Amino acid sequence: MTDLATRPAAPLLRRAAPALLGYAAVRALGLVVLAVWSAARDKSALTLLSARWDSLWYTRVAELGYGYEVRLPNGDVHSNLAFFPLLPWLERAVSAVTPLSYAHAGLAVGTLASLAAAWGIFAVADRVYGRRVGVCAVLLWAVLPVGVVQSMAYTESLFTALAAWSLYAVLTGRWVTAGVLAALAGLTRPVGLAVVAAVWAAAIASYAGERRRTLPRTGDPGPTPPFVRNRSAESSGGARPGVRALAMLLAPLGALGYVLWVGRRTGGGPLGYLDVQAGWRNGFDGGYAFARFVADKFTSFPSALAGVGLIIGVALIIWLYAVCVRQRQPLPLLVYAGVVTALALCASSYFGSKPRLLMPAFPLLLPLARALADARTPRSAAILGGVAAVSAVYGAFWLNGSGPP
């Protein structure tokens, strides 16, 4: 691992420039392929990116506020209270100071947020493993099969940016900043809980580490746990306990405030937001619904291939997380990635969206980034270039389909 204590400091943006340029190139490739594919099908790529599916719900919140709902024939109620407010607030703010419509303002926010997210991912990976791994991590995030969502008026890029920079703030001991960014992440998506958990876990571990170092030594204390021994984790210590406590207090305020507001508005009390989500058939069932969905794929031969693919995909995600643990990633990264993964895989939501819901779990990419960084540059470039081309084609195919991502 890079010696973080002695490595020469460099301006973070200049240090991240290769990663950001590579990221922009991958996203530009995806947009060009999408434009060509959409034109061939007589569709507007701009509309696909800014005014379909969830984008429409966020735009409606920005324009009209909360209170809109759709009642389906089966009795389900789709309320826009299910959508957290930060993106609509930003859409409204950008539209107020520019000629952009709410939809196009959302696209602008998403585009800028994707660059901020790429920068944050680089900052975290660079902090833990060095610059080369940071560049590879950003490019891997860019070439994800569902990477086109990073260029949409969705919340994935905005949330990932806030989460990555909050984690970076934790790793560098900027506790108040970490708490504020965690609160903003909690105003963006329900999975903001993962950032809160990471901040809390890091603060508690930092406090426990300080207590361990100040206790009188009466003998051999045994080996230091790996998550405490990790130098990135140690660099987050040294703050006054009150500062860490303030970060822990700030972190959940965004999500908690919105959930309580929804409960008061609906009359459902503290659990009112869960009722709103139930109207969308969203919930947390430990993965039972997803397991049944996968099992149903094996009822016929063609769909059985999709079932095999889903099982392989889930196994790969679990394996990557195990590798993250084995490679002793800093505790906040492990907690964050674990919670994001658990919420994505164990929710009873629309199953086609699960790859998109997993996108913010970027620490899972770090083992692959380390492997690419260790390879020769031409080999890494060839791998990433090939995957980028496949991802661009798949993204265009996906967005031109009938279902939401």
pLDDT tens, residue by residue, 175-213: 999 999 999 999 999 999 999 999 999 999 998 887 777
Look at residue 289 in the predicted model and tell me its pLDDT. Answer: 83
pLDDT tens, residue by residue, 218-252: 555 455 444 444 444 444 445 677 899 999 999 99
Distance from C-alpha of 145 to C-alpha of 390, rounded to nearest angstrom: 8
Distance from C-alpha of 182 to C-alpha of 216, rounded to nearest angstrom: 35
- Provide the pLDDT confidence category of residue 395 given band limits of 50, 70 and 90: very high
Distance from C-alpha of 35 to C-alpha of 396, rounded to nearest angstrom: 8
- Provide the pLDDT confidence category of residue 288 given band limits of 50, 70 and 90: confident
Rounded to the nearest 10 degrees, what angle do helices 366-374 and 377-399 cross at?
140
Distance from C-alpha of 352 to C-alpha of 328, rounded to nearest angstrom: 32
Look at residue 218 in the predicted model and tell me its pLDDT. Answer: 53
Q: What is the pTM of this model?
A: 0.91
Instruction: For the chain, report the end-to-end CA distance as a whole number of angstroms.
Output: 37
Instruction: Please name the residue ranges forming H helices in 130-230.
Output: 131-142, 156-171, 175-186, 192-214, 226-229
pLDDT tens, residue by residue, 85-117: 999 999 999 999 999 999 999 999 999 999 999
Phi-psi region of 130 (alpha: psi -120 to 50; beta: other; left: phi over 0): left
Of residues 156, 159, 151, 177, the one with CA closest to residue 34: 151
Look at residue 232 in the predicted model and tell me its pLDDT. Answer: 44
Distance from C-alpha of 245 to C-alpha of 206, rounded to nearest angstrom: 11
Q: Which residue has the higher pLDDT, 292 or 386?
A: 386
Q: Phi and psi of 289, rounded to 5°?
A: -65, -40
